[in-house]
Amino acid sequence: MQKKTIYTTRFTAAETLCNLFQSRSSVKILFDSNVEKYNLPSRDRNLAMNLIYGVLRQRQFLDRILQKLSKTPLHKLHPFVHQTLAVGLYQIFFLERIPHSAAVNEAVNSCKAKGIPKRLHGFVNGILRETIRQKEHKNLTENALTEKNGQPVYNHPHWLVNRWINHFGRQEAARICNENSKEPLLVLRINTTLISTADFYRQLDQQEIAHHPGIYCPDSVVLPHSHGSIGSIPGFEEGFFQVQDEAAQLATLLLTPFKNGGKYLDGCAGLGGKTNHILQLGLEHDLIIHAVEPKQRQLQKLLENQRRLFPGRHLFVHEENLQDFARNNTIQFDGILIDAPCSGTGVTGRHPDIRWNREEQDLLQYRARQLDLLKQGAKLLKPEGLLVYTTCSLEPEENQDVIHTFLSTHSDFTLTNCAEQLPEAAHQLVKNNLFCPHPSATIDGFFGARMRRK
């Protein structure tokens, strides 16, 4: 009887990385597909995702190690062998709890499961064992921290690093890249309509879950050592919190102050983090809230969270894009949030596949779409209404340039100061009236502009 092939955590990680570099698709979608395809047990999924994200955050460093030790050029390596080695190297350099021997053996077993020629099993084994031997001398690590041209290894595409150096200076660009190479901290927004901050902290204390307040937002809490299932955090089923970075929490505040009984629209709702934050902030103002989202999967997730967080609260949802909604509706809104689809270069620490999936020419395509979304939003806004534009990008083409172009063609709008609606601690994140934090420990790179119709 033929022995059944077992597809392990490391195999799934290497296969997902291969799929990613071949398709430029979302790593989350590829991973979920492979988990189902290879029947990966739920207990192994966190480690597999940790390996995938770790390799993506350290990709160039790991490739430099391979360049030092392999006589075969990287572009000639079998793609699966390349990614299997990257997964093994990541464990050796960054995961202290995994024995080096396990990293080597699992890499070889992954090659066997994939049907890689036997001669390459020895190649994989030899590279990883030589890495372990040389790692102790530290010369290998130090040499791998610089490119062949002597420049530092930033673990980001060269085109993106060069842009950031031009826009922010070499020191800040290096800091952003370094921040993006760390595993981000888990940040929650406490649902203060159901539980007080003090009571939520007490629940965390009872479970001995380390926590501390966020830096900028009064309803935020950081769980620095939590990396497992969100559902295991006390209060999830009861709706006591939602996962949301501090930048996204601050972005929703740009819609304030709310008008009592006013109508508000989230024009690009996505998974609904900001939509549900509007529900939370607007509870005492008796707001009428609409959300537009064309993708059924994301809209379903939005509604699941809304029912968990705000049972009994009504939300008008529209499964269509903003252009169709603007064409088919005569509703006029007091405030509209356009959280526009973008390159996502501000959240490449949280979503490291983004940095390898984007190309510089993508920025102008996003810009055209973003301008159109702002124009559609403007059609739906009342006189003296607020139009808030946000992205999770650091690129001027998608941010400042979009706002300047919109204002130059819409003389009935004026830019207001974002700082006036944000907590004092967040005023440092506002420049030239625009909300534009760079990535740091508890906040993503973001952009926000607040415009009022005259």
pLDDT digits (tens, 9 = 90+) for 29-60: 999 999 999 999 988 999 999 999 999 999 99
Which distant-in-sequence residues (6+ apart) come within 8 Å of 285 by Cβ?
Answer: 258, 259, 260, 261, 262
Let me know whether 283 and 415 are in one domain: yes
Cα angle 191-203-196, degrees, rounded to a multiple of 5: 35
Q: What is the mean pLDDT of residues 218-237?
A: 91
- Per-residue confidence (pLDDT) for residue 246, from 0 to 100: 97
Token pair, residue 83, equals 């990614």
Catalytic residue, candidates 111, 342, 392, 436: 392
- Per-residue confidence (pLDDT) for residue 142, from 0 to 100: 87
- Per-residue confidence (pLDDT) for residue 226, from 0 to 100: 86
Let me know whether 251 and 149 are in one domain: no
- Per-residue confidence (pLDDT) for residue 3, from 0 to 100: 58
Does the residue 186 lie in any domain? no
Does the residue 199 lie in any domain? no
Confidence of residue 99 (pLDDT cuts 50, 70, 90): very high
- Per-residue confidence (pLDDT) for residue 69, from 0 to 100: 94
Tell me the one-letter amino acid at 358.
Answer: R
Instruction: Write b or e for each residue in 109-135: b if 16 or more Cβ atoms lie within 10 A of its Cβ, otherwise e.
Output: bbbebbebeeebbebbbebbeebeebb
Confirm whether 217 is a catalytic residue: no
- Per-residue confidence (pLDDT) for residue 140, from 0 to 100: 86
Does the residue 352 lie in any domain? yes
Let me know whether 117 and 250 are in one domain: no
Cβ contact 306:315 at 8 Å: yes
CA–CA dist 13, 210 (Å, integer): 29
Is the pLDDT reported for residue 442 higher than 90?
no
- Per-residue confidence (pLDDT) for residue 78, from 0 to 100: 96
- Per-residue confidence (pLDDT) for residue 205, from 0 to 100: 97
For residue 388, the tally of other CB atoms under 10 A from its CB is: 27
Does the residue 110 lie in any domain? yes
Question: What domain count does the chain have?
Answer: 2
CA–CA dist 394, 445 (Å, integer): 6
Is the pLDDT reported for residue 307 higher than 90?
yes
- Per-residue confidence (pLDDT) for residue 200, from 0 to 100: 98
**Number of residues assigned to the chain:** 454
Let me know whether 313 and 442 are in one domain: yes
| Domain extent for 443 | 246-453
Instruction: Write b or e for each residue in 242-279: b if 16 or more Cβ atoms lie within 10 A of its Cβ, otherwise e.
Output: bbbbbbbbbbbbbbbebbeebbbbbbbbbbbbbbbbbb
Is the pLDDT reported for residue 227 higher than 90?
no
- More confident of the two residues 441 and 180: 180
Is the pLDDT reported for residue 145 higher than 60?
yes
Which of 113, 132, 153 is the endpoint of a domain? 153
pLDDT, one tens digit per residue, over 263-300 is 999 999 999 999 999 999 999 999 999 999 999 999 99
CATH at residue 56 = 1.10.940.10
- Per-residue confidence (pLDDT) for residue 1, from 0 to 100: 42
Confidence of residue 135 (pLDDT cuts 50, 70, 90): confident
The separation between the first and the last C-alpha atoms of the chain, rounded to the nearest angstrom, is: 78
Q: What is the mean pLDDT of residues 129-137?
A: 89
Tell me the one-letter amino acid at 55.
Answer: V
CATH at residue 417 = 3.40.50.150
Per DSSP bridges, beta strands 447-453 and 413-416 are antiparallel
Which of 130, 153, 176 is the endpoint of a domain? 153
- Per-residue confidence (pLDDT) for residue 334, from 0 to 100: 98
Let me know whether 250 and 369 are in one domain: yes
- Per-residue confidence (pLDDT) for residue 38, from 0 to 100: 93
Which of 153, 174, 204 is the endpoint of a domain? 153
Let me know whether 285 and 433 are in one domain: yes
Confidence of residue 374 (pLDDT cuts 50, 70, 90): very high
Is the pLDDT reported for residue 252 higher than 70?
yes
Does the residue 375 lie in any domain? yes
- Per-residue confidence (pLDDT) for residue 400, from 0 to 100: 98
Let me know whether 138 and 263 are in one domain: no
Let me know whether 393 and 266 are in one domain: yes
Average pLDDT of the chain?
95
Let me know whether 256 and 138 are in one domain: no
CA–CA dist 99, 111 (Å, integer): 19
Q: What is the mean pLDDT of residues 166-185?
A: 96
